[in-house]
Amino acid sequence: MKKLLFLSFLIITGFKPDQDKIQVFLIGDSTLANKAPGDAPETGWGMVFQEFFTDKIKVENHAQNGRSTKSFINEGRWAKVTKNLKSGDWVLIQFGHNDSKDKDTSRYAAANTDYKKNLIRFINETRAKGGNPVLITPVMRRRFDEKGTFFDTHGNYPAAVKAVAKEQKVPMIDLHALSQEVIVQHGLEGSKALFMHVEAGHYPKFPKGLVDDTHFTVYGAKIMAGLVAKSVHELDLDLKKHLKHFGDTDKFVYDLPVVQQPSFRKDTFNVISYGAKNDGLVLNSAAINKAIEACAEKGGGTVLIPEGFWLSGPITLKSNINLHLAKGALLQFSDNYKDYPLVKTNWEGLDAIRCQSPVSATDAVNIAITGGGIIDGAGQAWRSVKKEKLTDSQWQKLVASGGVLDQAQRIWYPSEGSKLGNTTPGAGNIAAGYTMETVTKFQEYLRPNMIRFSNCKKILLEGVTFQNSPAWNLHPMLCDHITLKNLTVRNPWYAQNGDGVDLESCRFALIDNCTFDVGDDGICIKSGRDEEGRKRGVPTENVIVQNSTVFHGHGGFVIGSEMSGGVKNLFINNCNFLGTDVGLRFKTARGRGGVVENIFISNINMTNIPGEAILFDMYYMAKDPVPKAGEKNELPVMKAEPVNAGTPQFQNFNIRNIVCKRAETAIMVRGLPEMSIKNITIENAVLQSNKGFVCIEGENINLKNVSFFTKDKTVMQIQNSTNVTMDKISYADDRDLLLKVIGDRSKGIRLLNTDDKKAKKNIEFSGNASSKALTRN
């Protein structure tokens, strides 16, 4: 009824919901114009420009294919814009590609005469209506000479735009220069992804493919639109206040990495046609791999696994293959370790020999696993299990199923070989001297990661359920442009090394709307381990994680501990962690080296966290983050060591809008005496926990508008840390102590705008800490 009344009001009053919005009119040519659905993947940058603004802005794209300043006016298109233009609106003007066509009298406008006159007309008539004109230089075409050197084709037109902008005192965005920088940065081959370099058979409009170095793909359009949006901010236009932020971080949408998406030929190769049988008895790896080979030989397409039960050994994906699991399809991997050959690969950041992964790809481009089916890795055949992680009845049932126990009767192994490998230091590591021949005695121990991609580009995993992995579930390493979307990833909670996803030394990734319920870290970022990782020297960078949930795991969102190649430029927003041992978990140790920096996190909800809601820890010791019954997580002895290549660094974290109900510790920062954790900001948080804020060896740590509801009578503890600011701190009533400052190296502590009357004692100094270390108001 309320909706009907509201609609009646709109009809009667003539009110339109968009009429109070600021309009941004785009006028120009095909490089920013709207395209029909059948034109895919061609995309004008104006089509995606709205994504960079809040809903206070309405982008009206009037750009049209093939138009110049002259034809845009003569065809009445400009008149349509001015008719709808109102005071306060904006007009962004980008022409030049078609004005230069001197053999077409309907479009030609000489750069220094008619072209300038038309630009001035756009400016004057926009201002006459109270609007705000912005000039944009022509966007670059992709042009490289035979030596691979970029060259320009626009003649005098960019200079003419600049001259008019200066003369008329109009803001100008130099997209000509900015787009050249992007094209050159991508390089001769990489820049093809920006433009319409379309493979044959991928899109209905281009059955024979297309090479077009003028018009953009979706990826190129988003890059160009982002350059324009960023320029709006840098020019300090009033329009900038409506630019959209990523979540509640200080970063804008234009700051985000853009991830390329794969595309595939429309041909489908059904595995049944290659001998696959869905009886749960026949091992289908040969048939599935045969279908993949046939598909690859034809230029790629979809390899279809239909509804049914499909038993298989290892599968190897190739370039341009989409492995599609229909809804109702179960791809069940074999529980016989002999089906998995030994291969040289990587394990926990080190070069190693392991069994071949159930699904793998190396040096592939344009690959995907999609659909509504399930992939099961038969992890129960590979994993050891600790007694304390099961009930008595579960333990008895497991022991009765076979396998062997350790001497203390506390750990179950599926076989003697598994036990031998688990009790052999460095088993399988190549640096430790192991070879293909010397690891066969404990092959059962060398459990693989379930999905393993190495040196691949343009990866899509969408819609599939991945579960019961032998080790990690999803492991892209040294891969670029990875999309994980609408996935369900599951493992038993006791599955050691049963991580959800581990991005290792990867660039440009998106994890969106995924659900994880696993036995180790949920969403984990890595980049190699110790000296081997530093020698590789490839960071994980430019990653977006959003709209995802972790139900169980050692950590919800995790960086480390293998981060020796560095981690930077991560963007995390709108995630939920329910029952993870730690919520936001950043871990490393001496010997790792590497720099983790520029991490932006907002809008995180957590509940029932047995450990820390937010943890920065440089003393990771490869132990479960929550001690078992009767155990304690004793703090290590804090003795300084010399700084060297193995000294890790955490710096530049911005965390905002956090809610946690029930945790052991709200915030823990634990750096090294020789390398403090630096430049951490946590703002707008409500944290209910047993312990509050503990900061050891931190520097430039800032808490603002943080509420602690603790059981511990001491709310905050600072030890040997410098420049720690606590501004607008709220806490539960009846605390014995608000703040404890420890150590003679604690300096520059600031307690600001905090009502400290609730605590029986406000500040306590110990361990030679000086009262001069604290400033308060």
Active site residues: 30, 199, 215
Compute the Cα dihedral for 203, 204, 208, 210 and give only its sign. negative
Alpha-helical segments (H) within 191-304: 218-234, 285-297
Burial tier of 551 (Cβ tally within 10 Å: 0-12, 13-18, 19+): middle
633 closest CA partner among 648, 647, 622: 622
Locus of tokens 């990495």: 257
316 closest CA partner among 270, 361, 264: 361
Whole-angstrom CA distances from 151 to 140, 143, 190, 212, 563 are 9, 6, 16, 16, 40
Backbone phi, psi, residue 328, to 5°: 95, 0
Q: How far apart are CA 459 and CA 298, in angstroms?
A: 20
- Lookup: tokens for 216: 């953009």
738 closest CA partner among 707, 721, 722, 717: 717
Burial tier of 79 (Cβ tally within 10 Å: 0-12, 13-18, 19+): exposed
Asked whether the beta carbons of 450 and 472 are under 8 A apart, the reply is yes
> Taking the CA atoms of the chain, what radius of gyration do you get in angstroms?
30
Whole-angstrom CA distances from 523 to 470, 489, 494 are 17, 10, 17
CA atoms within 13 A on the CB side of 294: 17
For 129, which DSSP code?
A: T
The 3-class SS string of 498-528 reads CCCEEEECCEEEEEECCEEECCCCCEEEECE
